[in-house]
Amino acid sequence: MTTDTRSTAAHTGSAPAPLWAETTVGTLVLRALRRYPDRTAFATDTGTLTYAAVTELVGRIQRVLADRGLRRGDRIGLLAGNSPEAWCAGIAVQASGMATSWLHPLGSVEDQLYQLADLDAAACLVDAQRHAGRGAELAARSGDVPVLGLGPSEFGPDLLAETAAVGAATAHDVAHVDDIALVNYTGGTTGRPKGVMRRHPAVSHIMSIGTLTDFEIPFDARYLAVAPITHVAGTKVVPVLQRGGTVHLQDGFDPGRFLATVERERITMTLAVPTMIYALLDHPALDRTDLSSLELLLYGASPMSPTRLAEGLERIGPVFSQLYGQTECYPISVLRRAEHADPTLEGSCGVPISTVDVALLDPEGNPVEPGEPGEICVRGPGTMEEYWRKPDLTAQAFAYGWLHTGDVARRDDRGYLTIVDRTKDMIISGGFNVFPREVEDALTSHDAVAMAAVFGLPDEKWGEAVTAAVVLRPGATATAEELTAHVRALKGAVQTPKSVHLVDALPTTAVGKIDKKALRAGLRTGGLER
């Protein structure tokens, strides 16, 4: 006998059981993997894994984690490069009802130890091939947190050897939707890293709906992932697998190797930060490399010079699509490929994705007037739940009922956003507000300039002095005086740098953003100049 829940509800007066359910990460991923068992899921320099093999490896890792006594609710740190085994370990953790927390592969040991302690981590999995030295440091200093190797090592048991020994194992999703799935930490350039916590529905949204709805992910994509899959590059792995594609994994970005791989493997999609794109544009092999297979080049993490973007569109093609988001909420907006042809959208980061609501607010939480700059504040299913165990910082981040991004933007009458700058990066010089991005765009419009970073330094006369660090293009020449005059002609005296420093390279953070904190420190110690 069957029971009609609607009829029962009508007689009892109770609400019917919902006919929909939120999705866990494991359900989302395993469904995609089982759909295309014979296709290649991952390709590296050393081999390939089919979708079926990935499914089996996830199941084996789940079995080993359970045999080691790890249980639902545990939080697991993972330090790894771009390897299929590391990705499978992360999924196995989440499908087992535990939370992953990726340690940044370029992060400091102090920040990584802080992260494990802050999490009360039950274990830390370390890619033994790529991070053997750091694994040994963590094992020696992590106290009661067991450090396990993904591969043979001297610092801990080999988890992958244990997975081979257990034989066949079926992957199962035993997580609940209200389990914590992910605690990712901010970069820590302005203080101790903060844990950004999400449960399964939020992570599933980022992995699937938030990307597939508004991003132009090709079907059967050949995705080249060279940026760390522990961060934004990893958010494109599941969408690619959902569409039956292959993820080509490489550790570290080398422009020559990148170009050769795109040509050889007929790559259709990739993701890069602006500094990587600048390196491609300046590489001598670019113009002799066949990039005709490339359909989509996603870029983000920091603003891109309009001049260099125009160069990329001309030399690489109309494949650029800008994504905008942050650790606390991702994705927020996208500027699609065709929109890059609209000159009125130069510098725009696009419109909010379908599932995100955006408001531009003043410091008192009021909406700004149309066309005026305001802080980007967001609501949406991909938003973090909290800063891990930091209620005061969480309350600040969600002031006035919105998540505050710290980015300042203008919105036009069509809804397109143009980011002016970070609130904390704004320079107050001589009583006037100067947004560094506008000065950087002026500098990079000079034919000799490859990259520029603008920041404020304390100054007795001006309060803050507008200061620039500039990298010239290979073989180009320009003087600081020439560049200063160029900005003055375009932007006027207020935004003209008081000093321009020619440097060989700009320091970057672990996620590829230009590190202005390091630039300021370099100037103070006299170690910045060429």
- Residue 259 domain-assigned? yes
**How many Å apart are CA 57 and CA 241, to the nearest integer?**
16
508 pLDDT band, cuts 50/70/90, is confident
Asked whether the predicted pLDDT for residue 519 surpasses 70, the reply is yes
**Residue 7: predicted pLDDT:** 37
Q: Are residues 289 and 359 in the same domain?
A: yes
- Residue 95 domain-assigned? yes
Strands (DSSP E) contained in 396-498 are 403-411, 417-422, 427-429, 432-434, 449-459, 463-472
**144, 173, 200 - which closes a domain:** 200
- Which residues are registered as beta bridge partners of 386? 197
Q: Are residues 229 and 137 in the same domain?
A: no
Q: Are residues 257 and 369 in the same domain?
A: yes
**Residue 3: predicted pLDDT:** 37
Q: Are residues 239 and 349 in the same domain?
A: yes
- Residue 6 domain-assigned? no
Helices (H) and strands (E) in the chain, counts: 17, 25
Task: Look up the CATH number of the domain holding residue 492.
Answer: 3.30.300.30
DSSP 95-158: HTT-EEEEPPTTS-HHHHHHHHHHHT-SEEEEETTT-HHHHHHHHHHSTT--EEEESS-SSS-B
Q: Are residues 245 and 343 in the same domain?
A: yes
**Residue 187: predicted pLDDT:** 61
**How many Å apart are CA 193 and CA 519, to the nearest integer?**
20
- Residue 2 domain-assigned? no
Interval 47-91: pLDDT, tens? 999 999 999 999 999 999 999 999 999 999 999 999 999 999 999
Q: Are residues 308 and 261 in the same domain?
A: yes
Structural domain including 455 reads: 426-525
262 Cβ neighbours under 8 A, 6+ residues apart: 224, 270, 289, 291, 293, 294
- Which residues are registered as beta bridge partners of 147? 124
Average pLDDT over residues 98-105: 94
Q: Are residues 393 and 432 in the same domain?
A: no
Asked whether the predicted pLDDT for residue 8 surpasses 50, the reply is no
**399, 423, 447 - which closes a domain:** 423
**177, 200, 223 - which closes a domain:** 200
Interval 150-166: pLDDT, tens? 999 999 999 999 999 99
- Residue 1 domain-assigned? no
Task: Look up the CATH number of the domain holding residue 62.
Answer: 3.40.50.980
- Of 186, 185, 190, 197, the closest CA to residue 116 belongs to 185
Q: Are residues 346 and 359 in the same domain?
A: yes
- Of 256, 291, 379, 254, the closest CA to residue 328 belongs to 379
Q: Are residues 419 and 430 in the same domain?
A: no
- Residue 485 domain-assigned? yes
**How many Å apart are CA 329 and CA 260, to the nearest integer?**
34
Q: Are residues 255 and 392 in the same domain?
A: yes
**How many Å apart are CA 88 and CA 334, to the nearest integer?**
28
Interval 240-284: pLDDT, tens? 999 999 999 999 899 999 999 999 999 999 999 888 999 999 999
- Residue 344 domain-assigned? yes
Asked whether the predicted pLDDT for residue 5 surpasses 50, the reply is no
**How many Å apart are CA 147 and CA 116, to the nearest integer?**
11
Task: Look up the CATH number of the domain holding residue 288.
Answer: 3.40.50.12780
- Residue 512 domain-assigned? yes
Count of the separate structural domains present in the chain: 3
**How many Å apart are CA 375 and CA 365, to the nearest integer?**
9
Q: What's the predicted TM-score (pTM) here?
A: 0.83
Q: Are residues 373 and 465 in the same domain?
A: no
**How many Å apart are CA 498 and CA 467, to the nearest integer?**
6
Q: Are residues 270 and 328 in the same domain?
A: yes
Asked whether the predicted pLDDT for residue 9 surpasses 50, the reply is no
**Residue 511: predicted pLDDT:** 67
Is the peptide bond prior to 146 cis by the omega test (within 30 degrees of 0)? no
